Every structure is written in structure tokens, then in C-alpha cells.
């Protein structure tokens, strides 16, 4: 394995594509192997033990692809399994929670930060922990928004139904007078304009994917693993899912700056 090896990126499904998209933009010379656990999504309502079990299987699959680094492109998996797998494997691993927390802590002027995410991520309290480890005076208000994931999966990103639900979910955060809101679930950046419309211009939205891609570049540089291959080689990006390959391919093509030809199914239970 060396600098030409791919980076493994995984999520419970399609949401992690928002992170893959950011990596493609910021480190275009890198090859990616993406895995979306579409058969077992959502992770956001599952227990820590189950999430760790799923993540171990995905990591074993990515290891067969000889990845040089792994990006946990899922907030829920980052919150519950990152610390465990970091100790179990040799390749460097980066999640999305710490980068998101860091960006928000820097961005907030009034010290009042909101986090929207799955139930599991909010219950983990990890965003609050990371933000307050940077500055203990920052106040963090979490709100689980479980319906956002299926609404995005159904393509209702600009629908009045989604807007109505967003108004309900975000009401209490508006009342807290936050000035910064972390989109703490990888699906939520796809609702960015709708959430921004509900929160108003005074609230800045933080997409952890941006800082994650920057963090990944730093990590690869530090480990001397950055690819120097500027050529856009054939098969540079590979996509695997545990179910619904065609639905995934169509969705991916609607959000990536690149046309996916094939998505392969993996029997993840075998790993
Ligand atoms: N990708 C997950 C996350 O970022 C959301 C979807 C799920 O619940 O699996 O937390």
C-alpha cells in the first residue's frame, strides 16, 4: 500500500456522498472507494453495539481494497464507533464530528451553537464535548431531526412538507438565539437552502464535510500518503453498496460533480 492506494469513505447510505463530494473538490488527485450501507440504513436509531458491529464489517471490506486511510463519513458512526476502530486498525481514520465541532467553535460570535443530527448523535453528546473542550464557555443546544433522513432519501429536498417539518424541528433552536448551526448528519447539507431559509441569514450553517476534507489532506500530508498523481485515471472513484445499487447510482449522479457508471453490491454480512 502506498500513495496511490485509494481512500475508503463510508456511510450508512447516501449521505456520505456529501463528504465524498467535498474530498473530490479539495483533493482531486486522490482515488476513493465509497461504501454506503444502504441495506441497513438508518444507523441513527440503532444502539452503539450494533453500530460498532456494522462499522467493523465495513472496515474489513475496505481493507480488502487496500485503502491507505478511512473517512467515517457518517456522524452517527463517528460518534459511536470511531474511537473503537481507531484502536483496532493500522490505517489512519478520520470522522466528521471533530472537524464540525472545530469549525463551529471558531465561527460562533455569540457563543451559542446549535447541532441538528440523528437521535444517536445527539444522545452521544459528542458535539457538545468536543466544542466545550475547545472553549468551555460555548453553549451547545442539540436537536434530533430524524425525519430529515427519509425526506432527503425520497428526494423531497425542496418540498413544502419538508419545510413544515423543518419549522417545527428548528423552532426551539431559533428561540435559543444561536448564531451557528451544525448540520450534524451527512444528509442535512442537501437541505441546506431550506434549513437556511427557516433559520434566517443571521445563523451560519456549518457543514462538517468541508473541514473533514481539509483535515484529511493534513492527515495524508503528515503521514506522507498524499497522492501526487494529478491524472484523472479511469476507475478513480469506485462505489459499493449493500443494497439498491441503481437507486444509489441515480442519487449519486444528482449530487456528484462526476458521472458514476456502475455501483456494485457487496454482501457486507460476509465480512
Ligand atoms: N449518515 C447518518 C449520519 O450522518 C444519517 C443517516 C442514518 O441515520 O444512518 O448520522
> In this structure, are 138 and 195 located in the same domain?
yes
Domain that holds residue 174: 97-208
Chain centroid offset of residue 236 CA = 20
- The whole-model pTM stands at 0.95
Alpha carbon distance 67, 126 (integer Å): 27
Any ligand 1 atom below 6 A from CB of 12? yes
pLDDT band at residue 86 under the 50/70/90 scheme: very high
pLDDT at 77: 98
> In this structure, are 122 and 186 located in the same domain?
yes
Average pLDDT along the chain:
95
Q: Could you give the angle at the alpha carbon of 81 between the alpha carbons of 139 and 95, nearest 5°?
A: 65
Alpha carbon distance 220, 235 (integer Å): 21
Residue that finishes a domain, picked among 208, 227, 252: 208
Q: Please give the number of the atom of ligand 1 that sits closest to the Cα of 186.
A: 4
Q: Is 185 a catalytic residue?
A: yes
Report pLDDT digits (tens) over 115-131: 999 999 999 999 999 99
Distance of CA 97 from the midpoint of ligand 1 (Å): 12
End-to-end CA distance of the chain: 21
Judged against a pLDDT cut of 90, whether residue 6 lies above it is answered with yes
Tell whether 1 is covered by a domain.
Answer: no
- Is the CB of residue 4 less than 8 Å from the CB of residue 31? yes
> In this structure, are 24 and 121 located in the same domain?
no
- Is the CB of residue 115 less than 8 Å from the CB of residue 142? yes
Q: Is 232 a catalytic residue?
A: no
Any ligand 1 atom below 6 A from CB of 43? yes
The fraction of the chain above a pLDDT of 90, given in percent, is 91
Amino acid at each position: 500500500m502506498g500513495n496511490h492506494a485509494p481512500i475508503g469513505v463510508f456511510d450508512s447510505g447516501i449521505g456520505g456522498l456529501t463528504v465524498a463530494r467535498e474530498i473530490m473538490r479539495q483533493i482531486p488527485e486522490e482515488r476513493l472507494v465509497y461504501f454506503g450501507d444502504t441495506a441497513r440504513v438508518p444507523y441513527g436509531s440503532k444502539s452503539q453495539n450494533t453500530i460498532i458491529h456494522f462499522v467493523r464489517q465495513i472496515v474489513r471490506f475496505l481493507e480488502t481494497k487496500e485503502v491507505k486511510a478511512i473517512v467515517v463519513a457518517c456522524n452517527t458512526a463517528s460518534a459511536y464507533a470511531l474511537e473503537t476502530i481507531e484502536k483496532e486498525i493500522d490505517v489512519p481514520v478520520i470522522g466528521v464530528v471533530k472537524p464540525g465541532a472545530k469549525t463551529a467553535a471558531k465561527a460562533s460570535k455569540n457563543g451559542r451553537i446549535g447541532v441538528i443530527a440523528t437521535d444517536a448523535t445527539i444522545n452521544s453528546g459528542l458535539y457538545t464535548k468536543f466544542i466545550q473542550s475547545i472553549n468551555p464557555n460555548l453553549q451547545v443546544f442539540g436537536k434530533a431531526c430524524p425525519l430529515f433522513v427519509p425526506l432527503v432519501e425520497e428526494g423531497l429536498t425542496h418540498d413544502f412538507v419538508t419545510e413544515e417539518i423543518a419549522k417545527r424541528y428548528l423552532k426551539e433552536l431559533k428561540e435559543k438565539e444561536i448564531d451557528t448551526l451544525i448540520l450534524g448528519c451527512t444528509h442535512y447539507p442537501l437541505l441546506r437552502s431550506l434549513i437556511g431559509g427557516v433559520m434566517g441569514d443571521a445563523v451560519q450553517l456549518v457543514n462538517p464535510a468541508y473541514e473533514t476534507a481539509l483535515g484529511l489532506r493534513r492527515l495524508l500530508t503528515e503521514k506522507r500518503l498524499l497522492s501526487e498523481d494529478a491524472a484523472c485515471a479511469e476507475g478513480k472513484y469506485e462505489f459499493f453498496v449493500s443494497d439498491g445499487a441503481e437507486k444509489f447510482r441515480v442519487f449519486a449522479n444528482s449530487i456528484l460533480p462526476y458521472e458514476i457508471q456502475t455501483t456494485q453490491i457487496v454482501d457486507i454480512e460476509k465480512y
